[in-house]
Chains A and B, each alone.
Chain A
Amino acid sequence: MSKYIVTQNVADCIGCRACEVHCKDKNNTLPGVFYCRILEVKPEAGGKPGSDFVYLSCFHCEKPWCVDVCPTGAMRRRPEDGIVYVEQKACVGCKACITACPWTVPQWNPETGKVEKCDLCKDRIDQGLEPACITKCTTGCLSFTFPDKASQEARQSYAEKLLKHRR
């Protein structure tokens, strides 16, 4: 895992697709190419009405299989923070990374014949900013954080909920 984590509060997600659009606008991706996606999970028959929406991007794995299988070293992991990204100049378009990734996250660009993917907007991170999808999320349901901080915040929020209706 990169030292960062992206969390999503599903209760606050409205499936508005803004994160995907902000990503496409920032990265100028082709139609059909999505570094992050919102997946609609429709309700089960007889269950609660209305869909839920789940945000899925690259997990920036601690041991990224995509990096392991890349024959040219194009798929890389930034040593300082673990961001997994593609060095475009070195990519030969073999698609091994797409096959290796358990979530098929690396995206194919048919125009360049190369793979591209989420790099957590590392140019923004290097300026002390957050990724586009998270910065501009309509409802603020996405957070760019660190695992220990995410854990603490989730527990804190649960604790507050637990005692909300105490006598």
Chain B
Amino acid sequence: MKETQYSICGMCAVRCPVTVHVEDGKPVWIEGNDNDSAMGRSLCAKGGASFAQRLDKQRPTAPMVRMGQRGEGQWREVSWDEAYDYITTRLNAIIAEHGGRAIMFSDRGGPFADLRKAFVKALGSPNYHNHDCTCGRSVHHASQSVYGLGRKGFNYDYENARHIVLFGRNITESLRVKEVKSFLKGIKNGAKVTYIDPRASVTAGKATRFWQIRPGTDYALLLGIAHSVVYNNYYDEEFVERYVIGLPAFKTFLAPYTPEWAAQETGISAEEIEAFCLELKKDRPKVIIHPGWNLARYRDSFYASRMIHILNALMGSIEQPGGLFYVKGPKDAGKAGLKSLGALSPAVTEDRADGCGTRFPLWDKGAGMLHLAYEAIETGEPYPVKAYFVHRHNPLIALPDTREQKRILDKLDLIVAVDINFSEMAWFADVILPENTYLERASILRTEKGLKPGFGRRQKCVEPLNNTKAGWEIYCDLAKRMGKGDCFPFESIEDIWQYQLQDTGLTAADFDEKGFVKLTDKAIWYDRDNLKFGTDSGKIEIVNPKWEAAGIVSLAPYVSPETPPPGSFRLLAGRSGYQAHGHHHNNPILHEFLDHNKLWINTRAAAELGIKDGDQVRVASGDIQGVITAYVTDLIHPEAVFMLHGYGTDVPARKRSFGKGLADQIFMVGKLKAWDKAGGGVNLAESFVTVTPV
């Protein structure tokens, strides 16, 4: 029998809608869910390797309990009962001694996190975290300090833009299918693209202007741009008059930061900056300056992103076709939202261990700051943290300095990894609870915000091949065994869907036709004459008094980045369109597209060191070192070297990728404690490495 199922891809964190054809219980075809016209049947390489992931046996296929030391790789396969008993015995002891707050959790966020947050809440802990300290936290906080709105509060109408400006936002490789399609349509429709990056990625090849900026000087370039825009009155005076406060102070602040000054810092000439700004004037309001996606890069990323948010306001591109638009939720369509699973658990009044909401009063308590939770594990302050649940998240490679992380995490009494892969983190855990691949599991319903808000559903398309469970089953089981069954009164995913939909007037059957439900047929745009912002003033705040009172100045003076000493380079990392986050490097199909990463090094810099293209070179930081093949090219700035992220795994169970290539994060020695003090994100581009011929 042939069936069509609608799912939501789980191969990466973008989670595109997909259609799966199943014949006699076997998945036979997968494509984009073309009920969503922006998606069509398109599917990226990672999504295309979904069936291969399911068939791959180099993954955890049954619950496992550690024998021997952490990370040693000695495992014992156990029953689910035994794994649960192992966990609950230890959790109960920890709670008895330290309380529920001694439990922490991290995942990769996203639209299904409500279930995991509810689990943490049910256990009486405030310490849920997602991955965002290594991703968009500084962008998020910058957005809150300018607009009073989180970073996901806006989306971008590339298709109708006249000018798209990307500070390292590598749209063609850090890939979201709908976004890249819209981006390419924009180019086809005549949009200019200015791409700024120390490295020429594939996106640079699509741009009308590529600036190979000196690494670490984005903020300087933005100050130079802002200077030109403000002093030449290139901005949208009507929009600024109506919605923006703080312009006079801004003008004074910008006085020294002329394009000529910026040229000295960035290596981009004043004439080019001026020409670009004049274009912005002509192209506005249909200008999108992307505020950064993974901008956990530099110590001043918060301020770089903040300057981008301000520039977008100066362009008048807010709630504007061809510019930025608010993503609308169910409320905007006059409908009720999904009921949160957490509503069934009593409120947790404890302060967070990472200091979000207390030590750092304005930082979002929702996602937390994982690197600061590490400090709590290390010091026992503000209170002891003893148990860590890690859900398909791999901090050992996502955060800097793997060795230091292991030292800290080893202080925990219990580490539980729920994963479908032998991630570095799962390999270091005490228990691995193997989750079904996404094709084998249903998930809670998700809210899909946008111009036409709605809800989406991931169906279970096929039966699990191994002794694994869906995430919702695992957390319901564990909650019940911890005596928190009242918080999870569900026996099936249908029970959960029904609970979530209780206020909406919808039923699960409404998702059968398309895989999603839209709450409106017409795109919702707010009245541009009556925009309200979430700041205290209700305006776009160039200077935000609330953040200033909390010690985070709005307009920070520029500090020039350190220049790497001779023979040293700033280490940059990124990803390709077909392997991301270390999730795909061992996939039976994807691994063969690239099994060793290379070190991009500038032609001139390589010549000075006697390095030729294809040579083996040694990369080192302190006593950490490794050998990698050099790719000698003009496409990278002389001060930087670059490698793709996710290689060089030390997990032997991943046989296809084990030991191949180098991992970037191991070289970030000591950088767990170096983070953006204003925005909170870690600094993944503030490490220097030496490079020498082998």
**Interface set of A (CB-CB < 8 Å, partner B):** 11-12, 14-18, 20-22, 24-26, 31-32, 42-43, 45-46, 48-52, 135-140, 164
Contact = CB atoms under 8 A, between A and B. Distances in A.
A50 B204 contact: yes
Nearest to A164: B190
By secondary structure, the B interface counts as: mixed
Given A16-B578, A18-B48, A21-B49, A136 B31 contact: yes
B485 interface: no
Contact of B589 (A25, A43, A48, A137): A25
A136 B32 contact: yes
Nearest to A25: B48
B180 A139 contact: yes
Nearest to B31: A136
A138 B30 CA distance: 13
A48 B207 CA distance: 9
B41 A14 contact: no
Nearest to A124: B29
A135 B42 CA distance: 7
A14 B41 CA distance: 17
A139 B45 contact: no
Contacts of B177: 138
Given A17-B578, A135-B31, A136-B41, A25 B205 contact: no
10 contacts: A16-B578, A17-B577, A18-B42, A21-B589, A49-B210, A50-B200, A51-B205, A139-B42, A139-B181, A140-B42
Nearest to A157: B188
B31 A14 contact: no
B447 to A, nearest CB: 25
Contact of B180 (A14, A25, A31): A14
A131 to B, nearest CB: 12
B205 A52 contact: yes
B589 A24 contact: yes
A25 B592 contact: no
Given A21-B45, A25-B49, A138-B177, A14 B202 contact: yes
Given A31-B592, A51-B202, A136 B173 contact: no
A50 B43 contact: no
B41 A135 contact: yes
A15 B41 contact: no
Interface string B164-180: 00000000110101001
B357 to A, nearest CB: 40
Contacts of B210: 49-50
A48 B187 CA distance: 17
B44 interface: yes
A26 B43 CA distance: 13
Contacts of A140: 40, 42, 181
Interface residues of B, number: 46
A68 B334 CA distance: 68
A51 B631 CA distance: 14
**Most B CB atoms within 10 A — which of A17, A22, A32?**
A17
Contact of B48 (A11, A22, A31, A32): A22
A16 B190 contact: no
B635 interface: yes
Contacts of A17: 45, 577-578, 593
Contact of A138 (B44, B52, B203): B44
What 6 pairs across the A-B complex have the smallest Cβ distances? A50-B205, A16-B577, A49-B200, A21-B48, A14-B172, A21-B45
Contact of A14 (B48, B173, B200): B173
B650 interface: no
B553 interface: no
A44 B184 CA distance: 23
A20 B577 CA distance: 13
B42 A138 contact: yes
B206 interface: yes
B634 interface: yes
Interface in B473-528: none
A108 B188 CA distance: 39
Given A14-B180, A138-B180, A140-B42, 7 more contacts: A21-B578, A26-B29, A49-B204, A50-B207, A50-B210, A136-B32, A138-B44
A22 B42 contact: no
Given A15-B202, A49-B210, A139-B181, A25 B52 contact: yes
A32 B181 CA distance: 29
B593 A50 contact: no
Contacts of B665: none
Contacts of A16: 44-45, 172-173, 175, 577-578
Nearest to A49: B200
Contacts of A25: 30, 48-49, 51-52, 589
Given A14-B202, A51-B205, A138 B593 contact: no
Contacts of B205: 43, 48-52
A136 B184 contact: no
A65 to B, nearest CB: 29
Contacts of A45: 603, 634
A32 B47 CA distance: 20
Interface in B36-77: 40-45, 47-49, 51-52
Nearest to B635: A49
Interface in B135-179: 172-173, 175, 177
Given A14-B172, A17-B577, A136 B42 contact: yes
